[in-house]
Chains A and B, each alone.
Chain A
Amino acid sequence: MIDFELTSEQQEGIKAAHESAKELFRPVSRYYDEHEHESPQELIDKMWERRGEGIFSMGLDVTSALRIEELCWGDAGLYLCIPGPALGGAAVFSSGTKEQLGRFLGGFNEGGPKWGAMAMTEPHAGSDTAAISATAVRDGDEWVLNGEKIFVTMGKRALENSDGFVVVWATVDKSAGRAGIKSFVVPAGTPGMRVEKLEKKLGIRASDTATIVFDNCRIPFDNILGSPEVKKTETRGFRGAMATFDATRPIIAAQAIGVGRAALDFVKETLESKGIKIRYGAPRQKLTALERDIMEMEANYKAAKLLTLRALWMMSQAQPNSLESSMAKTKAGLAVTKITQKAVEIMGPLGYSQKHLLEKWMRDGKINDIFEGTGQINMLVTARRVLNYSRDQLK
């Protein structure tokens, strides 16, 4: 049955997340935007204490997406600081064995706050993930990793500030192309791995974005996710990466939606306080330009949200959702960019001023059109799926 009713668990989850967003995130939002790379320790500790309430869990389902929207309504950068296995966890979850799940994620909830991270991008390989040049060479019972990874979200907190881990994508056989790309779990404190640099960014400044260098970094042989074998006809390792994306893209979309709604709510509240009401039912030719803008922003928000929930719902039904995930991510990235930029325009001097958070949300929101696949890469994936084309047929 087609249904949009939230379960009571979902409603409570939304409520709790919204309260955290309002009470913990919003009051320090500007501070951590202005103090880049300073750790929001109090917030981290509080969120860690609450990890049992479900806020902590980076689940890949509808309920989590609804919570994530609320938290990112509070602050998208601070949301990324919440301890948890995050994208690294998603990679282990989607291509690890049971034993690996237990080993890497089993004790995650215990002890102090911990983070998981994912290292895929390199200075010369962004969206073209198949071109990565970090290497993993087998040496007896170990893998030896070498290379440089950039744009690792929460890399520093995962590896330097906690006993977390990073999932690294590297090639075991460059000549095998995509078939040679595998993922490896590297725990914090492994010798030969160092965090080298933190990026200064347009937005989401509370979250760290690290460069990680691997210099003869040795890890146990069974830290590889998926099969170590390279079959030229099979690109399972690479498909593992892509399967991770199917799961994580709607989650990124949920983050985008939260930022978009923050901007939308701000604009609507400001207008309402001035007695300006949006006349939803009025005929189009009678609407003001402002009303048209607001309605378009709201519709885009709704469109992105429903596409996101559908992609996650499909996953929970064990239906393949690669197309729908990419659709959701593409739309949400575009929507948050459009909504926040329009909101700044509509609010005029209030929008551009740092007295309010709106300008920050515009800067924060843009990341959702870039990370976990740029809007264009997601459009390309969507296009290949709707055309039933391989990557050779549609480049």
Chain B
Amino acid sequence: MISFSPTEEQQMIVSMVKQFASDEMRKIYRECDESGEIPDSVIDIAWKMGLISSNISENYGGFGGEHSAITGSLIAEELAWGDLSMTMHILCPALFSYPVLEMGTETQRKKYLPLVCDEKYKTVTAALIEPHFDFDPYSLLTTARPDGNEYVLNGEKCYVPLAAEADFLLVYAAENGSSQGFIIEKGTKGLEIGEREKNMGIKALATYELSLKNCRVSKENRLGGPKGCDFNRIINCSRVALSAMAVGVAKAAFEYSRDYAKERVAFGEPIASRQAIAFMLAEMAIEIDATRLMTWEAAWKLDRKEEATKEASLVKAYADDMAIMVTDRAVQILGGHGYVREHPVELWLRNGRGFVTFDGMAIV
């Protein structure tokens, strides 16, 4: 039956994450953006919430909760409201562990899932995006060629979060034209991690280019073994996660510009009392809510293990546009003050513009 109310358990998780976002992330996000660094202490606090391990069965060392895309979306929104760079850092291990949890062989699950159930944050990541403008996750230029008991990988990746410190990377490559995942251990010959990237936004998140030059991995390292993975589902889970994060970033920008508009006086009145400003805010609120509801619907389909490509890609495209519309207007409402780095809205605009590019950088 149609309902828009999260479960009690979800509400508890949401309020815990919200608290963290406002107590921890919101205190340091500007510094992190300027310095490009996120203090380990914050990551540790976040890790203690068990946002990833709580989805993993006790057999693999987790807390044994149910892995749910709806819960994941609720968490992603709250975290992204705090800060997008930190959110992507905190949830980075999920890029590796959720596909393994859902699609890995039993051997892979036993080997890799306990890593992310450790008390300390463990860096594992995934590499999907490739450095060309017409990048298409369904026709990757990175290739995986079977050769005896091994696969030989060749190609270039970029926007790989935390690649330099990751112990294991899940690298997506085209195998006979279909996108498949391959687990590569740090230090494997032929895996070369490049320089840290400099991007317009998500500056506090360390992302890297990497190249694969005849990089050989065992056939056992193919995600899902001989069966392979359901790549489409992985992409849909990513679309939903990013849509939820877009809602979080947009909500932050909306709230800030709304409060500013009520404070800022021009011509003897708060600027919010003029329709030119008030209508912008109303539309921002409507589009944020609409995107959230569409995200939930797509997540709900994923939780039912139904084909969700249509819902997930519709909401992702909608969220991309919504995020840029809302964050741009937030800057506009603050005017000159929105352009200076004393206020956070310019940061949110830079981060908001990125969603269209971030395929595969987050997952529920």
Contacts and interface: CB of A to CB of B under 8 A. Distances in A.
B297 A4 contact: yes
A307 B296 contact: no
Contacts of A281: 138, 232, 235, 309, 313
Interface in B115-138: 133-138
A286 B134 contact: yes
Interface of A: 1-7, 10, 62, 280-286, 295-296, 298-299, 302-304, 306-307, 309-310, 313-314, 317, 324, 327, 330-331, 379-380, 382-384, 386-387, 389, 393-395
A53 to B, nearest CB: 21
Nearest to B272: A387
Interface residues of B, number: 50
A47 B290 CA distance: 34
9 cross-chain pairs, A with B, having the tightest CB-CB distances, nearest first: A303-B290, A306-B293, A383-B282, A383-B278, A382-B282, A299-B318, A299-B314, A386-B285, A280-B313
A387 B320 CA distance: 25
Interface stretch (B4-12, B57-65, B197-205): B4-12
Given A296-B318, A310-B4, A382-B282, 4 more contacts: A4-B297, A283-B137, A394-B273, A394-B278
Question: Interface SS of chain B: helix, strand, loop or mixed?
Answer: helix
B275 interface: yes
Given A306-B294, A386-B282, A1 B7 contact: yes
Given A299-B294, A382-B286, A386-B281, A6 B2 contact: yes
Contact of B317 (A7, A299, A331): A299
6 contacts: A2-B10, A4-B2, A62-B2, A317-B5, A383-B275, A387-B258
Nearest to B318: A299
A306 B136 contact: no
B314 A2 contact: no
Given A1-B3, A303-B294, A283 B134 contact: yes
Question: Interface SS of chain A: helix, strand, loop or mixed?
Answer: helix
Contacts of A6: 1-2
Nearest to B70: A2
B289 interface: yes
B341 interface: no
Contacts of B313: 280-281, 295
A379 B279 contact: yes
B291 interface: yes
Contacts of A284: 317, 320, 356
B300 interface: yes
Nearest to B319: A299
B281 A383 contact: yes
A296 to B, nearest CB: 8
A4 B289 CA distance: 16
B278 A387 contact: yes
B310 A280 contact: yes
Interface string B293-316: 110110010000000011101110
B283 interface: yes
> Which has the most chain B C-beta neighbours within 10 Å: A1, A324, A380, A382?
A1
Interface in B123-162: 133-138
B279 A383 contact: yes
A393 B311 CA distance: 40
Contacts of B2: 3-6, 10, 62, 309, 313
B293 A310 contact: yes
Contacts of A310: 4, 289, 293
A2 B258 CA distance: 28
A303 B1 contact: no
Contact of A303 (B6, B261, B291): B291
A62 B4 CA distance: 12
Nearest to B262: A387
A311 B318 CA distance: 21
A324 B359 CA distance: 31
A344 to B, nearest CB: 22
> Which has the most chain B C-beta neighbours within 10 Å: A62, A298, A386, A393?
A386
B273 A389 contact: yes
B289 A2 contact: no
B3 A302 contact: no
Contacts of B279: 379-380, 383
Contacts of B282: 330, 379-380, 382-383, 386
A298 B232 CA distance: 21
Interface string B336-364: 00000000000000000000100100000
A7 B296 CA distance: 18
B278 A307 contact: no
A307 B297 CA distance: 12
A286 B3 contact: no
B137 to A, nearest CB: 7
> Which has the most chain A C-beta neighbours within 10 Å: B7, B138, B314, B356?
B314
B296 A2 contact: yes
A307 B289 contact: yes
B74 to A, nearest CB: 9
A271 to B, nearest CB: 15
Nearest to A278: B310
A2 B4 contact: yes
Nearest to B291: A303
Contact of B136 (A286, A384, A387): A286
Contacts of B6: 1-2
B358 to A, nearest CB: 12
A302 B292 CA distance: 12
A367 to B, nearest CB: 20
Contacts of B315: 299, 302
Contacts of A298: 314
B234 to A, nearest CB: 12
Contacts of A286: 134, 136
Given A295-B314, A303-B318, A283 B136 contact: yes
Nearest to B321: A296
Contact of A386 (B258, B310, B359): B258
Contacts of A383: 275, 278-279, 281-282
Contact of B273 (A313, A330, A393): A393
Contacts of A380: 275, 278-279, 282
> Which has the most chain A C-beta neighbours within 10 Å: B261, B290, B296, B315?
B290
